Amino acid sequence: MEKNKWKLLCMVLGSAMMFSMAGCSVQNSENVVTTAASAVTTEKRADMQATDNQEPQERGELIFWDKSEYVEGYNTMMKAKVDAFAQEHNVDVNYVIIPAADMKQKLLAAIEAGNAPDLIVGDDTLVGQFVSMNQIADCADVFAAIDFTDNAKILGTFNGKEFLVPLAFMAPGMYLRMDKWLETGMDIPKTWEDLRKGAQIINDPANGFYGMGFAMGASGGGDAEGFCRTIILDWGGIPVDENGHVTVNSPETLEALKFIADLYEDGLIPPDAITGDDSWNNSAYLAGTVGVICNSGSVVSSMKAENPELLENTQIIAYPAGPKGTAYTLGGANVFGVFETGKNTETAKEFIKYYFADLDNYNNMIEAMGAMWQPVVKGVDDTEFWKNPVNAGWLANSKSTYKTYYPAPSDERATVSFTNQLCVKAVQEIVVNKTDPQEALNQLEAEFNKIYK
Amino acid sequence: MVRTKRKRIINSVLTYGILGLALIWTIFPIYWMVKSSLSLNSEMYVARPNLFSKVITFDHYIDLFFNTTFLHSIWNSLIVASITTVICLTIGVLGAYAMTRLSYPGRNLFRSSIIVSYLMPTAVLFVPMYVFISSLGFYDSKYALLIIYPTFVVPYCCYMLISYFKAIPYALEEAALIDGCNRLQTLWYIVIPIALPGIAVVATFAFTMAWNEYLYAMIMTTSNAQKTATVAISAFKFADSAIWGRIMSASVVCSLPVTILYIAAQSLLISGKYEGSVK
Amino acid sequence: MKPRKYSQQMIDKWLGLLLMVPIVLIIFGITGIPFVRAVYLSFTNKVVGLKEEFIGLENYRSLFTDKIYWKSLNNTVIYTVGCIVAKLLAGLLLALLLNQNLRGKAFFRTVLLIPWALPGMVAATTWRWMYDSTYGIINSMLLKTGMIELPIPWLSNPGITLLSTMIVNVWRGIPFFMFSLLGALQTLDKQVFEAAYVDGAGAFKQFIYITLPGISSVLGISALLSTIWTFNDFENVFLITGGGPVYSSSVISTYTYDLAFIQNSFGRALAVAVSVIPLMLIMIMISRKIINTDINQ
């Protein structure tokens, strides 16, 4: 018994000593243990044993929190550019990659604590929220220095000023399972009604296949709300007009909401769509369990890596039109956000200008990202890549894409009403709580009015 | 103890039967996780999946070990969890002993108020906590976790050890004290040996709590060099896609150290240690 | 034997206070400071990044008419009570079974512990995958064996979503009770059982009069801790249903997250968190009375 007690104690103390000793040695070699995709160049503000390693001469500093992308090539190439910038401009850049799920919480905590990064990349609705928290710097000077397309400039305007510097468009596309659609004998659907008819024919829930896989979850993403708004606009409804008046409660919107609710209630969409987050429709399509989804080009990248056969059976079609004949595509973009509260705002802006100065590199990154990215600057459209009919559709979509909260003016009320997923929640009221559609629409109007008071 | 043969058979059947069911209930999701980590991408998610896959592949593990820094994250987790366990166990054993055997002003108050650590959900508390900890100078460091983790592991250790210590009759220590031992000696030579199964349980669970924690680790560590294992797993998920092969294989690897610890701790669960010592 | 200069009582007193110092530092220092700040912020209209303004009880007043708040509270109580009862009973049963001299004892004890070894998000992600109505294995097997005709909507039917999350919590939590109680059972003196058997007490009587009192303090504490943890359980619900369709599986922790990080009202989120503290204290007191442990002996 004595032996066992000693065994425990020795085990515990020994391991602790071993680990702390090893820990010290690992710490010194920590900077060496990295992979190409995500190395940290320097860790000036590393840990509590911060050894004093100030360089003798004045070096600038830049803290850059980049978005983590499925396509690793993106982060690798961005880091390469960052390293080159660091060399040429004598700056210490702390480049880290933040996963999507963590970005907002880390940013909020960092802002509260006063150690926010200087530069971030995120999608426009995310960074837009920080504008309304007075965190993002005005980048009119950056816009003046770079040749953005008109559509890109519209995207970057927020509250009347140019805060969000576009990095790349993320245009949406409609993915159709051609092998299934051919069974319907119909042409490529030109209207939502056509799509619905075709979906009904191929719908086979008993065998685990649903005609449609549109996102309908309110777990904080953008896919579902984007889908609802697209239908509303196509039906002629206008959630908030260009003067900021709430005009959502109209017969057109009512018809639109009923249309979406019917799709779900007719069993054309898997029931789990209701609780899915943004990745739900991706997974559903990749699993081969749905016939059509609306998404950015991320699914193409996933298919290339994991399911090339599915890619062959997929066709990207133009968005179908609603009863009014209009077919809206709503999309977003990846943008740079320069933090005003960071210490190195000017350096961050320098980097952005530096980045766009090298159009070849930009082009390479676009091609690496495949269908996920479309250019925001002039001068990179005319390449072999975009001439390829497979890719041309994405480019066309990016040029005709409206902002996700179109036609409301670009301000925090628009981003808040979008990120709070008001329209999705109204549809959920109808299908889950069996609320009368007009009643749900009245509630929706009330919610909008709370934000647009 | 003598029992009738029939009773023994019934007892066995019931016991093994229930344990068997418990085994299936427990193993099934783990089996699914392991199976997914060994499946081809094309079989990763299919409609109406089958229980068994036809092909097994180790590609995901190879990908995980050679193309990511996940192993380094495991190392980080090991350091953080081990040191946390040692710190918390020491404070916990000493504190629990004091709170059960010694009498000093405010003892009852201490015992009741330790619970205060758990009153606010981490999901919101982490923001003011981060502000506080970074004001102490920590930024992107796993060592910050060594300060934060004790805040929820120490109360657990104290409370569990208090209840284990209370179950030990005081008579033994009384005898020792009369014989001239001081308090710490009675703790070391008498209480700890008897409570060793309990202490083993507390130690393994303290390690588990520190190992599995996600939110604070995510907030305190940013760069790959500092991340712990749970944070590293979430890095395999993106805005709307995920590398499931890596997630599943990383999940399996992440569960291994704690499982190994549990196996090692089994040897310390010995029964009836102080039989006859009262006499 | 050297004569004692100080009385045993005095030594005890100083030693006791000394050993409390690290606990005070950690629990009241490191937790306390953010906690106090959080409580203060709950009385403001804090939005992260902006300066807060004191608005008194406004946040709390708004909770009275907040339907989602009451729904979340209701769900949280159901979730907590249901999970604790299930985990406690199952854990106790398994601990009793494993306390015997079995073949393969170590095997059972290790394997049955593994759910607790998994990180919360790993368990939640795996179960979510299993629950899916198209590519989930649970529905797939139930359909293939003909036990059901249509897939069970674990994740979409508002009446079932909370149950789905509870199942996962129970799956993860049983080992905690099992192992803690096993440790307690091991410290019981076998001789007392033998004496009772000689006196004619059967297995059931032995359980009620010897086993239960013997492990009561550990049982009580495990129940107490698990109650608090289950009450504040966030990852589990969030990752499986995200709060469920139209908040049907929303619990207080996911609602505070929603308020803080999706609706950007940090002040209101903290008000929600603070408002349930009295409830938690009541639950703590009740669970202590029921199991009849008094850590304030």
Cβ pair A96:B223 closer than 8 A: yes
Of B49, B94, B98, the CB nearest to C140: B49
Chain B partners of C295 at a C-beta cutoff of 8 Å? Answer: 111-112, 159, 162-163
Say whether both B124 and B242 belong to one domain.
yes
Say whether both B156 and B236 belong to one domain.
yes
pLDDT band at B184; cut points 50, 70, 90: confident
Touching subunits for chain A (3+ Cβ pairs under 8 A): B, C
pLDDT digits (tens, 9 = 90+) for C250-295: 999 999 999 998 888 899 999 999 999 998 888 777 766 765 544 4
pLDDT of residue B272: 33
Chain A partners of C246 at a C-beta cutoff of 8 Å? Answer: 218, 425, 428-429, 432-433
**Residue C52 is assigned to a structural domain of this protein:** no
Say whether both B42 and B83 belong to one domain.
no
Residue C261 CB-half CA count within 13 A = 23
Question: In CATH, what number is assigned to the domain containing residue C162?
Answer: 1.10.3720.10
Chain B partners of A65 at a C-beta cutoff of 8 Å? Answer: 222
pLDDT of residue A41: 34
**Residue finishing a domain among B12, B38, B57:** B57
> Coil, strand or helix: which one is A123?
strand
pLDDT of residue A174: 94
pLDDT digits (tens, 9 = 90+) for A266-316: 999 999 999 888 899 999 999 899 999 999 999 999 999 888 999 999 999
* Bridge-based pairing state of the strands A314-317 and A173-177: antiparallel
**Of A161, A155, A115, A106, nearest in space to A333 by CA:** A155
Mean pLDDT over residues B7-27, rounded? 90
pLDDT digits (tens, 9 = 90+) for C34-48: 999 999 999 998 888
Of C26, C183, C274, the CB nearest to B201: C183
pLDDT band at A45; cut points 50, 70, 90: very low
pLDDT band at A220; cut points 50, 70, 90: confident
Least confident window among A50-64, A110-124, A408-422, B163-177: A50-64
C66-71: which pairs have CB atoms within 8 A and are 24 or more residues apart? Answer: C68/C247, C68/C250, C68/C255, C69/C255, C69/C272, C71/C247, C71/C248, C71/C250
Percent share of chain A, pLDDT over 70: 87
Convert B54-65 into a string of H (helix), E (strand) and C (coil).
CCCCCHHHHHHH
Sequence-ordered list of residues with C-beta below 8 angstroms from that of B54, at least 6 positions apart, any chain: none
Say whether both B53 and B65 belong to one domain.
no
What residues of chain B, 192 to 231, have a C-beta less than 8 Å from chain A? 192-193, 196, 199-200, 203, 218-219, 222-226, 231
Say whether both B68 and B50 belong to one domain.
no
**Nearest chain B residue (CA) to C194:** B1
pLDDT digits (tens, 9 = 90+) for A323-342: 999 999 998 899 999 998 87
| Mutation site for A-interface testing, chosen from B36, B236, B238, B274 by largest number of A Cβ within 10 Å | B238
C124-to-A111, B140, C44, C233 alpha-carbon distances in Å: 30, 27, 34, 12
At residue C143, φ and ψ (nearest 5 deg) are: -70, -40
Of C158, C244, C261, the CB nearest to A108: C261
pLDDT of residue B116: 83
Q: Identify whether the C-beta of residue C133 lies closer than 8 Å to the C-beta of residue C150.
A: no
Cα C242 to Cα C235: distance, rounded to the nearest angstrom: 9
Q: Identify whether the C-beta of residue B101 lies closer than 8 Å to the C-beta of residue B170.
A: yes
pLDDT band at A21; cut points 50, 70, 90: very low
Residue B278 pLDDT > 80, yes or no? Answer: no
Residue B72 pLDDT > 90, yes or no? Answer: yes
Q: How many CB pairs under 8 A join B and C?
A: 318
How many domains does chain C contain in total?
A: 1
Cα B36 to Cα A279: distance, rounded to the nearest angstrom: 18
**Residue C172 is assigned to a structural domain of this protein:** yes
Cβ pair C48:A416 closer than 8 A: no
Average pLDDT, chain C: 86
**Residue C262 is assigned to a structural domain of this protein:** yes
**Residue C283 is assigned to a structural domain of this protein:** yes
Q: Where are the extended beta strands (E) located within A150-306?
A: 157-158, 161-162, 165-170, 173-177, 292-295
Cα B251 to Cα B237: distance, rounded to the nearest angstrom: 13
Indicate the burial class of B18 (C-beta count within 10 angstroms; 0-12, 13-18, 19 or more).
Answer: middle
Range of the domain at B178: 61-278
Helix A251-265 vs helix A437-451: crossing angle, to nearest 10: 120
pTM of the complete model: 0.87
Cα C56 to Cα C43: distance, rounded to the nearest angstrom: 5
**Residue C57 is assigned to a structural domain of this protein:** no
Average pLDDT, chain A: 85
Cβ pair C253:B116 closer than 8 A: no
pLDDT band at A25; cut points 50, 70, 90: very low
Question: In CATH, what number is assigned to the domain containing residue B69?
Answer: 1.10.3720.10
Q: Is C120 on the interface with A (CB under 8 A)?
A: no
Say whether both B45 and B140 belong to one domain.
no
Range of the domain at C75: 66-295
pLDDT band at B2; cut points 50, 70, 90: low
At residue C56, φ and ψ (nearest 5 deg) are: 60, -135
Q: Which residues pair with A402 in a beta bridge?
A: A330
Say whether both B34 and B97 belong to one domain.
no
Q: Which residues pair with A157 in a beta bridge?
A: A162
Cα C159 to Cα C162: distance, rounded to the nearest angstrom: 7
**Residue C11 is assigned to a structural domain of this protein:** no
pLDDT of residue C290: 62
Which residue's structure tokens are 């260009």? A242
Mean pLDDT over residues B97-123, rounded? 86
Say whether both B13 and B117 belong to one domain.
no
Cβ pair C22:B131 closer than 8 A: no
Q: Which amino acid is at B95?
A: G
Of A130, A208, A274, the CB nearest to C245: A274
> Coil, strand or helix: which one is C27?
helix
Chain C partners of A429 at a C-beta cutoff of 8 Å? Answer: 246
Q: What angle do CA C264, C270, C274 make, to 5 degrees?
A: 160
DSSP symbol at A403: P
Mean pLDDT over residues B194-219, rounded? 90
Percent share of chain B, pLDDT over 70: 94
**Residue C158 is assigned to a structural domain of this protein:** yes
Of B111, B121, B205, the CB nearest to C295: B111
C135-to-A216, A280, A307, B18, C260 alpha-carbon distances in Å: 18, 11, 16, 30, 33
How many domains does chain B contain in total?
A: 2
Mean pLDDT over residues B261-279, rounded? 55
pLDDT of residue C3: 55
**Of A53, A34, A35, nearest in space to A43 by CA:** A53
Say whether both B112 and B156 belong to one domain.
yes
**Nearest chain C residue (CA) to B94:** C19
Cβ pair B137:A48 closer than 8 A: yes
Of B86, B143, B231, the CB nearest to A47: B143
**Residue finishing a domain among B10, B34, B57:** B57
Min Cα–Cα distance to chain A from C291, Å: 32
Of A130, A205, A275, the CB nearest to C161: A275
Least confident window among A405-414, B145-154, B173-182: B173-182
Mean pLDDT over residues B78-106, rounded? 92
pLDDT band at A11; cut points 50, 70, 90: low
pLDDT of residue B268: 67
**Residue C272 is assigned to a structural domain of this protein:** yes
Cβ pair C264:A129 closer than 8 A: yes
Touching subunits for chain C (3+ Cβ pairs under 8 A): A, B
pLDDT digits (tens, 9 = 90+) for C69-82: 999 999 999 999 99
User: Taking the CA atoms of chain A, what radius of gyration do you get in angstroms?
Assistant: 25
pLDDT of residue A221: 82
pLDDT digits (tens, 9 = 90+) for C16-68: 888 889 999 998 899 999 999 999 999 998 888 788 889 889 999 999 999 99
Cα A228 to Cα A237: distance, rounded to the nearest angstrom: 11
What residues of chain B, 117 to 136, have a C-beta less than 8 Å from chain A? 126-128, 130-131, 134-135
pLDDT of residue A4: 47
pLDDT of residue B7: 83
- What is the full DSSP assignment across A18-55? HHHHHHHHHHHHTTTS--GGG--S--TT--TT------
**Residue finishing a domain among B35, B57, B79:** B57
Which residue's structure tokens are 């009450």? C231
Cα C6 to Cα C231: distance, rounded to the nearest angstrom: 47
Backbone angle region of A93, left / alpha / beta, with phi > 0 → left and psi within -120 to 50 → alpha: beta
Average pLDDT, chain B: 87
Residue A1 pLDDT > 90, yes or no? Answer: no
A252-to-A216, A403, B244 alpha-carbon distances in Å: 20, 20, 41
Residue B171 pLDDT > 80, yes or no? Answer: yes
pLDDT digits (tens, 9 = 90+) for C131-187: 988 888 999 888 888 888 888 899 989 989 999 999 999 999 999 999 888 878 877
Percent share of chain B, pLDDT over 90: 47
Chain C partners of B260 at a C-beta cutoff of 8 Å? Answer: none
Number of H-type helices and E-type strands within chain B: 12, 0
Say whether both B42 and B143 belong to one domain.
no
pLDDT digits (tens, 9 = 90+) for A57-73: 578 899 999 999 999 89
